[in-house]
Amino acid sequence: MTKVPRKSSRPLLNKDAPLKGGVRRRPDKSQPQLALDPMPARIEPCLAKLVPKPPVGPQWAFEVKWDGYRLAVHVEPSGVRVITRGGHDWTHRFPTIARAAKVLGTTMILDGEAVVLDDQGRPDFGALQNSLGGRGGKRPAGEAIFYAFDLLYYDGHDLTGMELTARRHMLENVIGDSLATIRLSEEVDAEGDVFFAAACEHGLEGIIAKRTDQPYRSGRLGDWVKIKCIQSDAFFIVGYEPSTAALGGIGRLLLAARKGNDLVYVGGVGTGFKMRETMKLRKDLDNLKTPNAPVPIKRKGAIWVQPTLIAEIEYRAWTDDGKLRHASYKGLRDAQDNADVYELEPRS
């Protein structure tokens, strides 16, 4: 049974009347045009907690889990800044998103995800990486689309204290039904388990569920949760097995996860490679060679490397001895993306 859409009878934004605020604060001298709250330089993002199944209840809203780069787009009088989850300025890497945001006018902070879509309209992380020129690449991602899913600041007002329902309603008025470079990440009016099944059937990575009655809180506190159809996580590359027959001479990448302050070997990946990126990956790995294994294992013929490069790996499950099952390489994560390397739970 589908849920009744949570729509207000009247818009929260009115072009003829500004937003009403509480007690007026002193104007910021560096931003004299703002009547209320000065725009923050950065807001630490709200992160989704991984859970095994969709939550139940009318307080939850559901969206597609986009497979790309988490970004905050700051629209200011002086211009537009595109900021990564780790706080790095990537405006130069997403110029089309910056130009599209400038057209929106006023001042705002949009929270969302940059993706590149495949020919079936699904996000493709590898295609996004290629458009950027790979890890640390200098190319602009001209094909990237920004799916906005939250509005944190608007026209002189800090919105993070408002509940999600109100922020989303305002975001819908700002973005509208645009199918251009900046688009609205739609809420889906369906029960979580039904939506999750449909997302998996269509080959998506998973879904996100968000508490509609909560303010925007930074960190991984459980207000947002993610449910994955296919597991996809980040792991350190600690070595590779050379091959004369494989692309780029890489037979398998050897991977590790975190466990406290240590690294633990979690198996290898030998599929998902593409010729051009694998040739570059081999060169990067050879520049990081080390005589000692970063993890306490023995692997005859393995080339060990410093655990600097972070690979995004898709996999189906874990084996009983703690190794990745049916793993496939998706691409390298950029250090400035602040990707979470997979953390193994300590044994009780």
Q: Which CATH number does the domain housing residue 271 bear? A: 2.40.50.140
Q: Are residues 201 and 238 in the same domain?
A: no
Q: Are residues 62 and 170 in the same domain?
A: yes
> So what's the pLDDT on residue 134?
60
Give helix 125-132 / helix 275-286 axis angle, nearest 10°.
70
Does residue 20 fall inside a structural domain?
A: no
Locate the DSSP E strands across the chain.
49-50, 60-64, 69-76, 79-84, 108-115, 145-154, 157-158, 182-184, 206-211, 224-228, 231-242, 250-259, 262-269, 303-304, 310-315, 317-318, 324-325, 328-333
> So what's the pLDDT on residue 8?
36
Does residue 64 fall inside a structural domain?
A: yes
What ranges in the chain are assigned the alpha helix state H? Answer: 95-103, 125-132, 164-175, 192-201, 275-286
Q: Are residues 223 and 236 in the same domain?
A: no
Phi first, then psi, for residue 275 (nearest 5°) are -55, -55
Does residue 99 fall inside a structural domain?
A: yes
> So what's the pLDDT on residue 334?
80
Q: Are residues 224 and 333 in the same domain?
A: no
Q: Are residues 165 and 256 in the same domain?
A: no
The one catalytic residue in 65, 210, 228, 330 is 65
Q: Are residues 193 and 264 in the same domain?
A: no
> So what's the pLDDT on residue 24?
35
> So what's the pLDDT on residue 298?
86
Q: Which CATH number does the domain housing residue 196 bear? A: 3.30.470.30
Identify which of 280, 278, 14, 312 has the alpha carbon closest to the alpha carbon of residue 154: 14
Looking at 212, 228, 244, the residue that finishes a domain is 228
- Model pTM greater than 0.75? no
Does residue 10 fall inside a structural domain?
A: no
Contact 40, 182 (CB under 8 A): no
Does residue 305 fall inside a structural domain?
A: yes
Catalytic annotation present for 65: yes
Domain residue limits at 261: 231-337
- For each of the chain's 348 residues, which pLDDT tens digit applies? 333 334 333 333 333 333 333 333 444 455 545 457 899 999 999 999 999 999 999 999 999 999 899 999 999 999 999 999 989 999 999 999 999 999 998 899 999 999 999 888 889 888 888 888 765 555 667 789 999 999 999 999 999 999 999 999 999 999 988 889 999 999 998 999 999 999 999 989 899 999 999 999 999 999 999 999 888 899 999 999 998 887 788 999 999 999 988 999 999 999 998 887 888 899 999 999 999 999 999 888 999 999 999 999 999 888 888 999 889 999 998 876 767 899 997 754
Does residue 187 fall inside a structural domain?
A: yes
Please give the tally of structural domains in the chain.
2
Looking at 200, 228, 256, the residue that finishes a domain is 228
Does residue 308 fall inside a structural domain?
A: yes
Angle subtended at Cα 51 by Cα 49 and Cα 57, rounded to the nearest 5 degrees: 95
Q: Are residues 127 and 276 in the same domain?
A: no
Does residue 30 fall inside a structural domain?
A: no
Contact 74, 102 (CB under 8 A): no
The C-alpha atoms of residue 140 and residue 226 are separated, in whole angstroms, by 29
